[in-house]
């Protein structure tokens, strides 16, 4: 039977392990998404950017809105040539407003990112670095540091650049980055060695090896990404843009060829009417909101203190089919606790408890501390200290030996640790492990616990005294969350270094679909590749250098901010709060992005269908009275019908901006049920809304004198 390694779980001192509240921003700022369009300050800030986006070179990136801008210019020219035509001026004005509203939606979304970037810029300071040069130190500007330089940071110093701690341990204030006020521990070795430029050392002394050039630091990357400057369009977004461009070309050809037929039918149309028809036919609504939806998706992640290196990662999160989750700290609370002492036959419980406590005094891990506390509270043994046994040789716990204990001056030796390590220690001294031990360890493992053996050597005789039961506590509500993921069609896999019996018990209690026991970095890579070979997208979390290959291989790799630089470079997302359970929330945000884009595309196309019934009868009813039967809305006049459709086309963009920024609410359900729901809500809603909106606008226009 393989045995788990008894190592302290990787937890973050002082870091928050709860989900960041909605609206939480790096640097401690807060904000709300949705409804921000109607914030006067946000509008004033974004309006100049919206005007600047009228540059044709910028508009050309969105074929749909570029066509609308060309139509705006053309109708404006025609209105200038015929200044007495109020209808031409009205159409031109509303087409320009349509273009401006589309730009304003994108500008508002980008403005949120710029506000976050401004907060981050305030964390950057021109620090002076103490670079180590041989036996001496030299003070240089932080901007002169290069990759590989060693710098010294002491209490009160600001870390001059991104790097890894190579010597020492210190308490670091990272509130400027994470918004979390509690300090965290950074130390050399292990998975808590990474430090970020701009954070402040609160105590002790550390030596940091610089890992990023000036201008390419973590904060610089964050600023670029939240501003949207580095946001690349995702494959789905590009595909949708191609579809929208294709529809635009089709409708453009349809409108161009309509004029000869209209002339032949005796109902020639003015250029203003043809442009209005084209703008109402092409999918302007989704074309105007598409970019804002993508920017808002990344913004929602940033609000939860997650930095997405690319929009592809956010979108991939929405398509994830398999989640790989570490057991410790994600599914369980992280610190295994001693819950009972189980002696073998012939050994009293008090004797086992006394030996367990004594052998744990040199074990500073949370598990070791829990053994001391259990012996004190349940068996009345006072808590002893190493100083009480003079001249004793203490054996500290290490990951290599997986044991702790003490050797007293009278030849009495006590050990506590992993079953394999303690059993080997007993065998080396001529002792044997009785059958009781195997029975007890199997029982504990089957129950999801971790067995630790306690043994002693006294007067040349070595024996096992009993077993300590360490229990992993599954976080409250995890079973419900995994059930929710199952309804989303996502398979969950627990990754653990525990033996298969222990892993199975925890997996059953937590409700995960599968587990990988005694996992090595190679095992994680092999699992990810098997899943991807079956056509599924895989997401996982990690924080150590040994997690870097798997993070790079996964479609969504979420690296912990507390982890090593290698892990953060390998992943395509970084969780600033270092909360492994946030991966579940990230998947929800990704799905929300995809659903929002799909829902608004459905609404936009359905919207265009309804507008046909306003414009087409208005264009030909005079020449062909029989077409008036299609005027099911009983619109006032041909001109008011066309103008009402154009006005509605512009205003619906404004109405949908808050939804595009906030996102369509996601509820876990099957894909079929979700499709039916969105077709009913946004498809049917997209058909009905124009009838109501255009009719209402037409009634208002009919009240204007001269609109006949």
Q: Do 601 and 662 have their domain in common?
A: yes
Tell me, what's the pLDDT at 178? Answer: 61
* Domain end point (choices 576, 604, 622): 576
* Domain end point (choices 576, 611, 638): 576
Is 45 marked as binding a ligand?
no
Is 337 marked as binding a ligand?
no
Q: Do 49 and 137 have their domain in common?
A: no
Q: Do 630 and 613 have their domain in common?
A: yes
Q: Do 469 and 482 have their domain in common?
A: no
471-481 pLDDT tens trace: 877 777 888 88
pLDDT-based confidence at residue 39 (cuts at 50, 70, 90): low
- What are the tokens at 110? 């980008």
Is 398 marked as binding a ligand?
yes
Q: Where are the beta strands (DSSP E) in 419-525?
A: 449-458, 461-471, 491-495, 514-516
Tell me, what's the pLDDT at 422? Answer: 93
Question: Domain with 218 in it: what CATH number?
Answer: 2.70.150.10
Q: Do 248 and 148 have their domain in common?
A: no
Is 363 marked as binding a ligand?
yes
The C-alpha atoms of residue 414 and residue 397 are separated, in whole angstroms, by 13
Segment holding 201, helix H or strand E: strand 200-201
Q: Do 453 and 349 have their domain in common?
A: yes
Is 648 marked as binding a ligand?
no
Is 403 marked as binding a ligand?
yes
602-622 pLDDT tens trace: 999 888 887 877 777 767 666
In a domain, 120, yes or no: no
Is 410 marked as binding a ligand?
no
Q: Do 87 and 233 have their domain in common?
A: yes
Q: Do 377 and 487 have their domain in common?
A: no
Q: Which of 149, 326, 354, 698 is catalytic?
A: 326
Question: Which single residue is written with the structure tokens 């204990």?
Answer: 405
Domain extent, residue 210, equals: 129-226
Q: Do 349 and 442 have their domain in common?
A: yes
Question: Domain with 412 in it: what CATH number?
Answer: 3.40.1110.10
In a domain, 7, yes or no: no
Q: Which of 272-276, 326-330, 660-664 has the lowest mean pLDDT?
A: 326-330
* pTM for the whole structure: 0.65
The C-alpha atoms of residue 534 and residue 94 are separated, in whole angstroms, by 51
Contact assessment for residue 45 and residue 602, using Cβ atoms and an 8 Å cutoff: no
* Domain end point (choices 425, 446, 473): 473
Q: Do 570 and 667 have their domain in common?
A: no
Q: Which of 250-254, 569-573, 609-613 has the lowest mean pLDDT?
A: 609-613
Q: Do 343 and 450 have their domain in common?
A: yes
Query: HSE (CB half, 13 Å, CA atoms) of 563?
Result: 29
Total tally of structural domains belonging to the chain: 4
Using CA atoms, how far residue 472 sits from 447, 451, 543, 643, in Å, is 10, 11, 21, 67
Is 534 labeled as catalytic in the residue annotation?
no
Is 313 marked as binding a ligand?
no
Q: Do 370 and 459 have their domain in common?
A: yes
545-557 pLDDT tens trace: 777 888 888 888 8
In a domain, 603, yes or no: yes
Kindly give, in sequence order, each residue whose CB lies less than 8 Å from that of residue 537, ignoring residues fewer than 6 positions away. 316, 319, 320, 321, 322, 555, 556
- What are the tokens at 79? 């209105």
Q: Is the pLDDT of residue 590 over 80?
A: yes
Tell me, what's the pLDDT at 150? Answer: 92
Is 143 marked as binding a ligand?
no
Q: Is the pLDDT of residue 389 over 70?
A: no
In a domain, 463, yes or no: yes
């Amino acid at each position: 039977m393989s045995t788990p390694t008894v190592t302290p779980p990787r937890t973050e001192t002082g870091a928050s392990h709860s989900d960041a509240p909605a609206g939480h921003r790096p640097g401690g700022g807060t904000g709300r998404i949705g409804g921000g369009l109607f914030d006067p300050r946000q509008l004033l800030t974004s309006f100049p950017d919206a005007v600047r986006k009228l540059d044709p070179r910028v508009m050309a990136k969105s074929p749909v809105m570029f066509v609308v801008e060309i139509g705006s210019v053309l109708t404006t020219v025609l209105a200038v040539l015929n200044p007495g035509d109020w209808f031409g001026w009205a159409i031109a004005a509303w087409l320009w407003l349509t273009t401006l509203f589309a730009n304003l939606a994108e500008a508002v979304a980008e403005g949120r990112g710029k506000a976050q970037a401004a907060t981050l810029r305030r964390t950057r300071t021109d620090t002076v670095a103490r670079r180590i040069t041989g036996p001496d130190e030299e003070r240089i500007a932080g901007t002169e540091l290069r990759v590989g330089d060693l710098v010294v940071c002491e209490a009160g110093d600001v870390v001059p650049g991104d790097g890894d701690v190579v010597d020492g341990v210190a308490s670091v204030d990272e509130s400027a980055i994470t918004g979390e006020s509690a300090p965290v521990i950074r130390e050399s070795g292990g998975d808590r060695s990474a430090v970020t430029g701009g954070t402040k050392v609160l105590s002790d002394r550390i030596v940091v090896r610089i890992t990023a050039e000036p201008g390419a630091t973590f904060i610089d990357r964050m600023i670029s990404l939240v501003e949207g400057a580095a946001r690349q369009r995702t494959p789905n977004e590009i595909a949708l843009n191609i579809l929208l461009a294709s529809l635009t070309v089709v409708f453009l050809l349809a409108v161009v060829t309509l004029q000869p037929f209209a002339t032949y039918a005796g109902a020639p149309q003015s250029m203003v009417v043809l442009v209005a028809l084209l703008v109402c036919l092409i999918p302007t609504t989704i074309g105007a909101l598409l970019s804002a939806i993508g920017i808002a998706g990344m913004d929602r992640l940033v609000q939860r203190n997650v930095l997405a290196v690319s929009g592809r990662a956010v979108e991939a999160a929405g398509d994830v089919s398999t989640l790989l989750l570490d057991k410790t700290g994600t599914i369980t609370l992280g610190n295994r606790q001693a819950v009972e002492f189980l002696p073998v036959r012939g050994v009293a419980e008090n004797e086992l408890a006394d030996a367990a406590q004594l052998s744990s005094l040199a074990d500073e891990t949370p598990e070791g501390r829990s053994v001391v506390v259990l012996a004190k509270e349940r068996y009345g043994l006072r808590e002893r200290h190493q100083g009480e046994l003079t001249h004793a040789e203490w054996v500290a716990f290490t990951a290599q030996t997986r044991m702790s204990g003490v050797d007293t001056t009278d030849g009495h030796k006590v050990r506590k640790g992993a079953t394999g390590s303690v059993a080997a220690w007993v065998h080396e001294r001529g002792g044997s492990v009785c059958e009781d031990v195997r029975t007890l360890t199997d029982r504990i493992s089957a129950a999801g616990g971790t067995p630790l053996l306690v043994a002693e050597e006294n007067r040349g005789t070595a024996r096992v005294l009993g077993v300590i039961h360490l229990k992993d506590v599954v976080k409250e509500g995890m079973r419900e969350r995994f059930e929710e993921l199952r309804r989303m069609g996502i398979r969950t896999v627990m990754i653990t270094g525990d033996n298969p019996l222990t892993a199975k018990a925890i997996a059953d209690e937590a409700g995960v679909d599968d587990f990988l026991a005694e996992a090595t970095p190679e095992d994680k890579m092999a699992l990810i590749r098997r899943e991807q070979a079956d056509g599924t997208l895989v997401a996982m979390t990690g924080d150590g250098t040994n997690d870097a290959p798997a993070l790079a291989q996964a479609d969504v790799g979420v690296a912990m901010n507390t982890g090593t630089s290698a892990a953060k470079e390998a992943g395509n997302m970084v969780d600033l709060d270092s909360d492994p359970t946030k991966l579940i929330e990230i998947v929800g945000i990704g799905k929300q992005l995809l659903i929002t884009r799909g829902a608004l595309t459905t609404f936009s196309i359905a919207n265009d269908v309804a507008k046909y019934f306003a414009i087409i009868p208005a264009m030909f009813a005079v020449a062909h009275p029989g077409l008036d039967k299609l005027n099911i809305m009983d619109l006032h006049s041909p001109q008011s019908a066309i103008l009402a459709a154009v006005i509605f086309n512009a205003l619906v963009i404004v109405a949908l901006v808050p939804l595009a920024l906030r996102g369509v609410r996601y509820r876990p359900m099957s894909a079929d049920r979700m499709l039916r729901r969105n077709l009913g809500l946004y498809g049917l809603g997209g058909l009905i809304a124009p009838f109501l909106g255009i009719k209402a606008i037409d009634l208002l226009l009919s009240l204007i004198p001269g609109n006949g």
